[in-house]
Amino acid sequence: MRTVADIPNPNMKVTLMAWNGKYLIKLEKGDFEQTYKISEMDVNGDDGAKELLDEDFLEAAMNRFTDMRDAFVSTVRRNG
């Protein structure tokens, strides 16, 4: 697996990797992680993959992290 770029972001760790004919977008915030896989054929090289990491996508991912945390806290309260 090759790390293409670490994308600076104040809210989460963003890493773009290439592996086995795919780009992997890995987003991490605390104990939670999101990974997206994109075929290398669907983007124009490393730069094309980086372009996917626009403000709207990253904002949606942050919202998803909030939903993930809320769902996990809820299940811990119900079952803990």
Mean pLDDT, to the nearest integer, of 6-13? Answer: 96
**Residue partners of 72: CB distance under 8 A and separation at least 6:** 32
Percent of the chain with pLDDT over 90: 98
Radius of gyration of the CA atoms of the chain, in A: 14
Examine the pLDDT at 18 and tell me if it is beyond 90.
Answer: yes
Q: What was the pLDDT predicted at 80?
A: 79
Question: Is the whole-model pTM more than 0.85?
Answer: yes
Q: What was the pLDDT predicted at 32?
A: 98
Domain that holds residue 57: 2-79
Q: How many domains does the chain have?
A: 1
pLDDT in tens, 21-55: 999 999 999 999 999 999 999 999 999 999 999 99
Q: Are 6 and 15 in contact (CB under 8 A)?
A: yes
